[in-house]
Amino acid sequence: MRNQLLKYLQELVQAQVISDQTAEDIQQYFARKQQASPNRSMMVFGILGALFVGLGILLILAHNWDHFSRATKTVIAFVPLLAGQLACGWTLLKHPQSASWREGSSTFLFLAIGSCISLISQIYNISGSMSSFVLCWMLLGLPLVYVMRSGMSSLFFLTGVTFYGWEVGYNFSGGHAPWLYLLLLALALPFYIQLLRKRPNSNFTYFHHWLLALSVVIVLGSFSGSQDHWMFVAYFALFALLYLYGQTAFFEQAKMVYNAPRLLGSLGSVVLMFIFSFYDMWKDVLGDQEWLFPLQRDVWIALLLSLAAAGLYFWLRRRAAENWEPNPMSWMLFFFIPTFVLGHFLPVVATIVMNLAIFLLGIYEIREGARDRELGTLNFGLLLISALIVCRFFDTDISFVLRGILFVLIGAGFFVANYRMLKAKKSSNPSTEQQHDPQ
C-alpha cells in the first residue's frame, strides 16, 4: 500500500498536479500515521499467544493433578497469577506504549485470575455459586482494563458481566433481577467512552459496540416482574434507543456492519413488530387484567427507556435541524406504545394496524432503495413484505396452489427488482464501460 502510494505521488508530481513539497508533506503524514498506529498483527498474535500458553499450562497440570500434594497444588495455582503480574509490570515499565505487550500480558493475567480462583476453590473445597465465582473474577480483573488500557480485558469483562446477569436473572431455581449488573456495566463505560474518543475506528471499538449492545439486549429481560407484558415496550424502547444511538456522530463514517447499535435496533424492532402482527399475541396481552396498575418495575423500566429514546430523538432532531431526515425506525416507538395500549381494548384493530405498519415500512424501504440505488435497502424492504406475506399464511386459510403462486411472485419480484437496480447502476456509470472498452 505504501509503495503504491509513492508511485501515485510520483505520477502526480510529474504531471504537475501537486508540487514536490506537497508530495513530501503527504509522505511524512503517512509515515507519522504508520508509526502511531499499533501493529495489528503483533497485537493479535500476542493475544493468541497468551491464550494458548494459558491453556497449555492448564492441560499439562491437569495430566498429573491428582498426584500433587495440597501445598504443591496451591503453589501451582498461584504461579500463573504471579507470572501474569510480572508480565504486566514489565510491560508498564519497559513497553507502556506497545499495544501488543499490553494486550498479551493483560489477557494472560485476566485468565490466570479465573484459573487461580477456581483451583483454590477446588483444592480447599470452597463451595459457591457460578454467579459468585464470575462476580469475583470480574471484580478482580476490572483494574486491568484501566491500568493496562487493555481492550481485550474489557471485552472479557463485558462477557463475564453479561454471563453474570444471565445467571442471576434467568436462574430457574429462583432467579431475581440482577441489579448489580447495572453497576458492573457502568464500571466498563468510561473505557468505552475513551475508545470512542481516542480510537473510534479501531477493531476493539467495533467489538465493544457489538458486545455492549448485545449485553443489554440479553440481560434486559431478566428484570421482568409480574407485569412482564410491559417488557415488550421496554425492548421496543431499547431497540429505538440503540437505533438512534447508531445515528449519532460516532457512527457517521461507519459501515452498517460496524454500526452495531443501528443494526441491532432495526432488526430488533422489526422482529417485535412481526411478533405483534399475530392476533394470538394480542389475545395474551388482553388476558392480563392488571396490565397497568399497580405499577411494577416492568412499567417503570419501559417508561424510563421510552423517555431516554424520546430525549435522544428530539436531541438529534434539534442538533441536526433541517439536515436530518428521520427514518421511520427512528420514531416507530411513538407508534408502538399507543398501539400496545390499544391492543388491551381492541386486539383486532391493533393486529391490523401492526400489519399495515410493516407493509408501509417495507414500501418505504423499497422506495428509498430505488431512489438511492442501494440494493441492501431495496432487498430489506422486499424481505419485509415477503416475510409479512409468509406470516399471514399461518393466520389465514389459503390453498396450497395460491400459496405457491404467491411464493413464485415473491421470487420474481426479488429478481426483477435487483435486475432493474443493477441495470440502472450500470447505465449511470458509462465511464466505467468506456475505460474497459478495448480499441
Report the SS3 class of residue 2. helix
Q: What is the mean pLDDT of the chain?
A: 82
Helix axes 99-123, 130-147, angle to 10 degrees: 150
Q: How confident is the model at residue 433 (pLDDT cuts 50, 70, 90)?
A: very low
Beta carbons of 296 and 320 less than 8 angstroms apart: no
Phi and psi dihedrals of 172, rounded to 5? -75, -15
pLDDT at residue number 5: 63
pLDDT band of residue 142 (cuts 50, 70, 90) is: very high
The pLDDT-based confidence of 136 (bands split at 50, 70, 90) is: very high
DSSP 18: S
pLDDT mean over 265-279:
92
Rounded distance, CA 123 to CA 373, Å? Answer: 64
- Please tell me the predicted confidence (pLDDT) of residue 434: 44
The C-alpha cell that represents 65 in the structure block: 493433578
- Cell digits for 297? 418495575
The pLDDT, as a whole number, for residue 437 is: 41
Average pLDDT over residues 199-220: 92
Residue 279 has pLDDT above 70, yes or no: yes
pLDDT computed for residue 20 by the predictor: 73
- What is the average pLDDT across 333-346? 87
Q: 432 falls in which pLDDT band (50, 70, 90)?
A: very low
Question: DSSP letter at 303?
Answer: H
Percent of the chain with pLDDT over 70: 79
**Of 317, 321, 209, nearest in space to 265 by CA:** 209
91 or 374, which is more confident? 91
Say yes or no to pLDDT of 33 above 60.
no
CA angle, residues 53, 58, 62, in degrees to nearest 5: 150
Q: What was the pLDDT predicted at 173?
A: 59
Question: How many Cβ atoms from other residues are within 10 Å of residue 187's Cβ?
Answer: 16
CA distance 166 to 161: 9
Rounded distance, CA 163 to CA 220, Å? 13
Indicate whether this model's pTM tops 0.95: no
Question: Quick check: 149 pLDDT over 80?
Answer: yes
349-377: average pLDDT: 85
Segment 308-323, tens digit of pLDDT: 999 999 888 887 655 6
pLDDT on residue 281: 85
The DSSP line for 94-105 is H-TT-HHHHHHH
